[in-house]
Structure 1
């Protein structure tokens, strides 16, 4: 591009054959347009040490909010008649794997993507049988065995208590239609006498990977059809305009509710009003309970860890038209790597989960037992934001074809986005990341893969920054593509990203580049779009004229003054061990964005996908 020199006298680094895990996951990303990073954190030992204890090892891949509970259930299983009936003892080892990722990995037909075969799952416990149904349809029913629910939790909307009471909580019935009306009303909160709170903002997760996100779009279709059962694909089609209105007040699509809740929690603890960020969060009831306990991301609580409740709790709004439930099945996988001994032990654990002993443990972790006679305990009270008698109406899980129709529709009606990707190409990006690629290779390939997420009508731009570059955006910045509708330029843009390999790579004017990008995006930001900057940097700022404090003051002020209708949020990726995580976190927080940890540089493909999942 004239005036935007991106050159490098060094020869092009040859592409090398990528590891199996990266290839398999990249293919999955291309097929399903977005995913977020896999987590293989083990809840039982904190570090994933699967040392042989003389017992049959039964790994359970489970959604994060159940890891602590399954640890407790595993301990109780050790003393159970079900364990005693086995020929050898068994050790249950839960690992954190999102429901959407678990479905994707199992449907791929490949081995489980973990180098340590000891961590390959014998059992799977996603948040909903929606996921087991999808794997059965996409791969094989025998692969997912015979899933059976052992606990459940309803899908709700969590709201700061002050806001919920302004809508009549806990006495008034609040419907999804009521929330949609607040979304559509240009007066926002002023329409209910709270003008200082600005517009009504909702946070939802991506339905391709999140049970909550998927359930919410189905609940929207139920609401629009005025049904409480027998939802059809035609109903979903007819609900398109209603759902489009609802999507318009989404702040951005998170990859997990935990990231949004963490942001909200941090604001509450710092005394900052959460109304500037989000008004309502679609989430599971158990996640709201965890938030109010001081565990907003539902992480695995370690022994001795102290949780601090938020200054303002969230309360549960159970939609008047009904809620879907995450029915939390567990099943022994019919995968080739599961041995007969592991399968037998897994079946014994599944039977144990249906016993009175196991069901009595569930409420201690914010989950409802299947047996309604089991006391719910102190977590399920109005004081903790919960109305135990709700939801009054249960919305059944639709057929697989209806679920697929809802996901396909969301792809078309989701809130449009305007995203500028800002990529560090300084000298340190030549460093190897351990899989035959340089950091720059990983950044380019991550960006190229995730561009397929965007629709033709979404606006996409790509800038690069290092000292020595110059463009209309300013010193230190090169423009590969101005922010504009993607149209039919996908392949051309993916090819243009390869040009970064030839660019001069010198210093890191990180703050100057972000300031220039922010000026560009605030000048063009529009209401009704997700306006965002994705920043990838692998180091410390070395060459900026603006300081970090001045940058944060600039973007923070712009966010507060007139930025409510069309805010520009920044999503930094801290790439590699040398990235300035503290600075990047401050920058994200100043705009209501989120920062992402890619300290394991070899996983940049997955982290990039996680970020793009917000749009």
Structure 2
């Protein structure tokens, strides 16, 4: 057995570095709230030097500014009676990760009478993925009806404000937000794995994390060959804050400093090569951290350990708390409450720093936001900074604006009482540079699109197209996600006159840079046929993909089906198919991402297929949403 990776000498000044970052973090958080609750704090005489430091400042030495006193949160001051109707409606858009907190804040605010400029107020919360919301904010939510556009946007990290502004949304998105609470983005590991490698006692640096993840024999060398290779889970950095944090940490580790990452570092060829090597340890990318944790729980329940699905995953503290109390979500929206897992997650706080999801709230400045809505929105943000609002923040698993956790949340999540090495996200230019570099450095894919072309795919949908026409359009659009070097192919399945799997492969899996025209031509020729040999198709093409399995690629199938297994002649059974997938999973694993298309899709079977391979199930039972759902799915690559 070999020893776990040793810690480098650079850690000799860790205590001093932690103290500096601790002071910086406290200053940044307190200044963020100062603008939102200044009027209230002035009444209480509590505004002091908090406004002297910009929220993004990172250069002050510990001796230059003493640590500010903790904020004394003011009491909420609801109106004696609600203002006149009709109420001013304040749509608030959150991320998936912080949606519960924002919803609870909205409920807390709405529970008391409000009178802003003579009108009552109703706050309405909605959610979207961070990257999608940033794209929409950059164009002023132009695809949404004006009366439905958000007035307040609360992404779970400040990085998305900069991404939206850099993409052209400066006229609508303020540069700085008012933090309503925070959650550290950490490395979470199943408890036995964290103990075996020793990171539960002595946190690693990010460089050590990526070095370990690149070691195929690490668990075998620690007397646990049953855990397989080190499987590192990351969300997509263009979709989720945890994915951004993971990729920025990768660049920082390669460049020599997570805390001082620059645009030049991201452009450096040697740094880029090292980041590419880091990415090879990624099992696959997903849209939200909940996706990974749901699969980890499924693996633990089915096989006794989450280690079958992941060794570690980069997530926010709040997600660790949810998991450890038995709450998971397959889609980031629907919450599943079950028993407390026997195998808990341990949050690991890397010693050279970790990014903070600071949940900045901004009142948007677009033409659709009138003065009454803006005033009501500011009153909602005032509430978020009150004693009542901050209690909600803590109760929903977040650190308040003093960095404090609810005691029970801290205990159940095994979270650090204080997070001394917390880091602000880098400047927007750095984050955008990382986004632009991601297509070049990400782990390449080896993907087969497998389309059901049974007779029912000829049925019309609300748009006037047939289901197959809409599906083909969605597949064609999804190709834009892939880059040179990704190997992509196309097969389709039906059965006619007892001939299985007609037409079969129509475009071989090959570099999409060379074969996109052939792929699109083959896609255009697909037509509805007759039967639905679902089990035979999955069994056959999973074996073919496994034959070409490449450990340096994400080996996958994207399966779209609108029906249940129906064949004219005897064919592969459901159990035979699942046995094949299980056998491959332990040798040459092929992820089968399944998409249930239309109301008659066999949801249960499609879920079992994806679960058996460690992939994810997607719901397009409303066929008019297939392009959006498939677009979400391909972020896994």
Tell me if both proteins adopt one fold, taking TM over 0.5 as the criterion.
yes
Whether the 8 Å CA contact 1:469–1:477 is kept in 2: the answer is: no
* Residue from 133, 143, 151 that aligns with 2:181: 151
TM-score, with length taken from structure 2: 0.82
**Using a 3 Å threshold, how does the CA distance of structure 1 residues 347 and 475 change in structure 2: closer, same or farther?**
closer
- State the shift of 1:504 in Å: 5.1
Matches within 5 A, 1:290-439: 290-297=322-329, 307-372=338-403, 374=404, 376-381=406-411, 383-390=412-419, 392-439=420-467
Bigger mean CA offset, 309-318 vs 232-241: 232-241
**Using a 3 Å threshold, how does the CA distance of structure 1 residues 462 and 85 change in structure 2: closer, same or farther?**
closer
Whether the 8 Å CA contact 1:252–1:530 is kept in 2: the answer is: yes
Report the Cα distance in structure 1 between the residues aligned to 2:539 and 2:216, rounded to whole angstroms. 30
- Aligned to 1:222, what secondary structure does the other structure show? helix
Which residue of the partner structure matches residue 546 of structure 1? Answer: 572
Whether the 8 Å CA contact 1:452–1:490 is kept in 2: the answer is: no
**Using a 3 Å threshold, how does the CA distance of structure 1 residues 465 and 507 change in structure 2: closer, same or farther?**
same
Report Cα offsets for 1:24-48 as digits up to 9, x if no partner. Answer: xxxxxxxxxxxxxxxxxxxxxxxxx
Whether the 8 Å CA contact 1:453–1:612 is kept in 2: the answer is: yes
Matches within 5 A, 1:559-570: 559-560=585-586, 562-563=587-588, 567-570=589-592
- Aligned to 1:506, what secondary structure does the other structure show? coil
- Aligned to 1:348, what secondary structure does the other structure show? helix
TM-score, with length taken from structure 1: 0.84
Is 1:440 the counterpart of 2:468? The answer is yes
* Residue from 576, 585, 589 that aligns with 2:611: 589
Whether the 8 Å CA contact 2:317–2:413 is kept in 1: the answer is: no
- Aligned to 2:513, what secondary structure does the other structure show? coil
Report the Cα distance in structure 2 between the residues aligned to 1:280 and 1:433, rounded to whole angstroms. 42
Q: Rg bigger for which structure?
A: 2
- Aligned to 1:347, what secondary structure does the other structure show? helix
Whether the 8 Å CA contact 2:251–2:258 is kept in 1: the answer is: no
Whether the 8 Å CA contact 1:364–1:377 is kept in 2: the answer is: no
* Residue from 165, 168, 172 that aligns with 2:195: 165
Which residue of the partner structure matches residue 170 of structure 2? Answer: 141
Matches within 5 A, 1:188-587: 188-238=218-268, 239-297=271-329, 307-372=338-403, 374=404, 376-381=406-411, 383-390=412-419, 392-468=420-496, 475-500=501-526, 503=527, 505-543=529-567, 545-560=571-586, 562-563=587-588, 567-587=589-609
**Using a 3 Å threshold, how does the CA distance of structure 1 residues 395 and 91 change in structure 2: closer, same or farther?**
same
Supply the RMSD in Å over aligned alpha carbons: 2.3
Whether the 8 Å CA contact 1:153–1:326 is kept in 2: the answer is: yes
**Using a 3 Å threshold, how does the CA distance of structure 1 residues 470 and 332 change in structure 2: closer, same or farther?**
farther
Bigger mean CA offset, 336-345 vs 149-158: 336-345
Report Cα offsets for 1:335-390 as digits up to 9, x if no partner. Answer: 23223221110011112212233122211111111124x55321113x53312233
Report the Cα distance in structure 2 between the residues aligned to 1:156 and 1:275, rounded to whole angstroms. 18
**Using a 3 Å threshold, how does the CA distance of structure 1 residues 420 and 85 change in structure 2: closer, same or farther?**
closer
Matches within 5 A, 1:14-53: none
Report the Cα distance in structure 2 between the residues aligned to 1:255 and 1:395, rounded to whole angstroms. 23
- State the shift of 1:104 in Å: 1.1
Report the Cα distance in structure 1 between the residues aligned to 2:386 and 2:409, rounded to whole angstroms. 21
Whether the 8 Å CA contact 2:188–2:314 is kept in 1: the answer is: yes
Report the Cα distance in structure 2 between the residues aligned to 1:588 and 1:301, rounded to whole angstroms. 18
Whether the 8 Å CA contact 1:183–1:245 is kept in 2: the answer is: no
Whether the 8 Å CA contact 2:397–2:405 is kept in 1: the answer is: no
Report Cα offsets for 1:97-116 as digits up to 9, x if no partner. Answer: 111111111223552436xx
Report the Cα distance in structure 1 between the residues aligned to 2:497 and 2:261, rounded to whole angstroms. 56
- State the shift of 1:551 in Å: 0.8
Which residue of the partner structure matches residue 207 of structure 2? Answer: 177
Report the Cα distance in structure 1 between the residues aligned to 2:169 and 2:438, rounded to whole angstroms. 26
**Using a 3 Å threshold, how does the CA distance of structure 1 residues 599 and 475 change in structure 2: closer, same or farther?**
closer
Report the Cα distance in structure 2 between the residues aligned to 1:559 and 1:290, rounded to whole angstroms. 28
- Aligned to 1:371, what secondary structure does the other structure show? coil
Whether the 8 Å CA contact 1:469–1:478 is kept in 2: the answer is: no
- Aligned to 1:423, what secondary structure does the other structure show? strand
Report Cα offsets for 1:543-582 as digits up to 9, x if no partner. Answer: 160111111112112213x23xxx1110111001000011
Which residue of the partner structure matches residue 634 of structure 2? Answer: 612
Report the Cα distance in structure 2 between the residues aligned to 1:301 and 1:450, rounded to whole angstroms. 25
Report the Cα distance in structure 2 between the residues aligned to 1:448 and 1:403, rounded to whole angstroms. 29
- Aligned to 1:398, what secondary structure does the other structure show? coil
- Aligned to 1:508, what secondary structure does the other structure show? coil
**Using a 3 Å threshold, how does the CA distance of structure 1 residues 215 and 338 change in structure 2: closer, same or farther?**
same
**Using a 3 Å threshold, how does the CA distance of structure 1 residues 414 and 228 change in structure 2: closer, same or farther?**
closer
Whether the 8 Å CA contact 1:255–1:614 is kept in 2: the answer is: yes
Which residue of the partner structure matches residue 73 of structure 1? Answer: 105
Report Cα offsets for 1:96-155 as digits up to 9, x if no partner. Answer: 2111111111223552436xx654322111111211112222223230135221211111
- State the shift of 1:269 in Å: 2.8
Report the Cα distance in structure 1 between the residues aligned to 2:552 and 2:520, rounded to whole angstroms. 27
Is 1:128 the counterpart of 2:157? The answer is yes
Whether the 8 Å CA contact 1:158–1:314 is kept in 2: the answer is: yes
- State the shift of 1:223 in Å: 2.1
- State the shift of 1:513 in Å: 1.1
Report the Cα distance in structure 1 between the residues aligned to 2:333 and 2:549, rounded to whole angstroms. 38
**Using a 3 Å threshold, how does the CA distance of structure 1 residues 352 and 430 change in structure 2: closer, same or farther?**
same
Report the Cα distance in structure 2 between the residues aligned to 1:183 and 1:371, rounded to whole angstroms. 34
Higher relative contact order (CA 8 A, sep 6+): 1
**How many residues are treated as equivalent by the alignment?**
548
- State the shift of 1:85 in Å: 5.2
